[in-house]
């Protein structure tokens, strides 16, 4: 830590700067600079809760839901929608994994829905394939 007035390196526990005598403010607030550099922010306050908006969470959830809807539509006789469901399910799953690696927030709901949509779509695909024979 450094003095806010003169910039001299300080002892972590000191409350006054030995150089200029300035009072050392022990601030917990997050500066705007930290938002510009999330990786720096993360290193000194890993204990802080997720201030990061999960980047892919919403997209992942929407895709997961759509995946289920499209896959289910196929069961109601709408043609080939399960193919869309499968693709969206795969995208939702990959987004969930990307979200995990980049923001450390795991889109569990999105992943689950993606898997459900994908499974439903795959099942519809198999059933359709068997019926076609």
The stretch near Zn ion (CB under 5 A) out of 2-10, 45-53, 72-80, 111-119 is 2-10
Q: Is 24 in the site for Zn ion (CB under 5 A)?
A: no
Q: Is 127 in the site for Zn ion (CB under 5 A)?
A: no
Q: What is the DSSP letter of 87?
A: H
Among 17, 24, 111, 115, binds Zn ion (CB under 5 A): 17
**CA–CA separation, 70 and 1 (whole Å):** 55
Closest to Zn ion by CB, 20 vs 127, is 20
Among 14, 15, 19, 35, binds Zn ion (CB under 5 A): 19
Angle formed at CA 115 by CA 110 and CA 120, multiple of 5 degrees:
125
Lookup: tokens for 5? 């007035």
Q: Is 1 in the site for Zn ion (CB under 5 A)?
A: no
Instruction: Please give the full DSSP string across 19-84, using - where no structure is assigned.
Output: TT-PBPP---PPPHHHHH-HHHHHHH-TTS---S--TTHHHHHHHHHHHHHHHHHHHTT-TTHHHH
Q: Is 11 in the site for Zn ion (CB under 5 A)?
A: no
Q: Is 122 in the site for Zn ion (CB under 5 A)?
A: no
Binding site for Zn ion (CB under 5 A): 3, 5-6, 8, 17, 19-20, 22
């Amino acid at each position: 830590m450094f003095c806010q007035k003169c910039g001299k390196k300080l002892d972590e526990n000191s409350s006054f700067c030995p150089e200029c005598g300035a009072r050392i403010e022990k601030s917990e607030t997050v500066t705007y600079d930290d938002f510009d550099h999330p990786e720096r922010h993360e290193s000194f306050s890993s204990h802080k809760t997720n201030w990061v908006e999960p980047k892919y969470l919403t997209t992942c959830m929407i895709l997961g839901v759509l995946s289920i809807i499209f896959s289910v539509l196929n069961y109601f006789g709408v043609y080939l929608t399960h193919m869309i469901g499968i693709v969206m399910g795969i995208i939702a799953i990959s987004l969930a994994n990307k979200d995990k690696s980049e923001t450390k927030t795991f889109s569990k709901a999105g992943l689950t829905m993606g898997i459900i949509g994908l499974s439903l779509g795959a099942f519809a695909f198999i059933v359709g394939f068997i019926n076609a024979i």
